[in-house]
Amino acid sequence: MRKFRLSETMQKIVIDTNVIVSSLITKGYPFRILFDLVLEKKVLLCLSEAVWKEYMEVLNRKKFSKYHEFKINAEIVLSKIEELAVTYYPDVKLSVIKDEPDNRFLELAVFAKADFLITGNTNDFKLSEYDNVKIIGATTYWKFYQKNIEHPSEA
């Protein structure tokens, strides 16, 4: 996992594990965010040891073996994330979200000063913003990015 200074124009994002899983199962907005933005280096993915550990644990669950080539695709994606993401070491401890492990994503986002925390888990992430981090779903983020970053003159 690399450590480098971010271009002032590149958005920093944190992606919840459920969005990564969705990107490997369907070709919807989670797929577009991961493959068209993160892996194409159009946005910067923020990572912490706790988030990386959750990615590894969840993506290696046996229940996903029913999806064609999930395991091999997960290995490829994890390898690319490890290569491209910037690792942070949050020194904040939050207890804002009911599902306690989800606080690790918010801690990372706050510490890294991420622009967005992208999640498919709106039941647990009830806030729309916390400490200047916008918490939104994949569809909303994709549409925002397309309108404001990718094609701002069309807005």
Q: Is 80 within a domain?
A: yes
Looking at residue 35, which CATH number applies to its domain? 3.40.50.1010
Instruction: Evaluate whether residue 7 is within a structural domain.
Output: no
- Count of domains for the chain: 1
Give one word for 119, left, alpha or beta, with left for phi > 0 and alpha for psi -120 to 50.
Answer: beta
Assigned domain for 1 exists: no
pLDDT surpassing 80 at residue 2: no
**What local confidence, expressed as pLDDT, does residue 154 receive?**
66
82 inside domain: yes
Which one-letter DSSP state was computed for residue 51? H
Question: In this prediction, what percent of the chain has a pLDDT beyond 90?
Answer: 79
- Residue 98 in any domain: the answer is yes
**What are 60-112's pLDDT values in tens digits?**
999 999 999 999 999 999 999 999 999 999 999 999 988 899 999 999 999 99
Judge whether 81 lies within some domain. Answer: yes
6 part of a folded domain: no
pLDDT of residue 143 exceeding 50, the answer is yes
pLDDT at 37: 97
Flag whether 5 is in a domain.
no
pLDDT for the residue numbered 1: 40
- Residue for token digits 């064609």? 68
Is the pLDDT confidence value at 128 over 50? Answer: yes
**21 touches 59 (CB < 8 A):** yes
pLDDT given at position 132: 95
Domain hosting 94: range is: 12-154
pLDDT category, 4, cuts 50, 70, 90? very low
**For the purposes of burial, counting CB atoms within 10 Å of the CB of 8, is it exposed (0-12), middle (13-18) or buried (19 or more)?**
exposed
18 contacts 123 by C-beta, under 8 angstroms: no
What is the model's pLDDT at position 5?
44
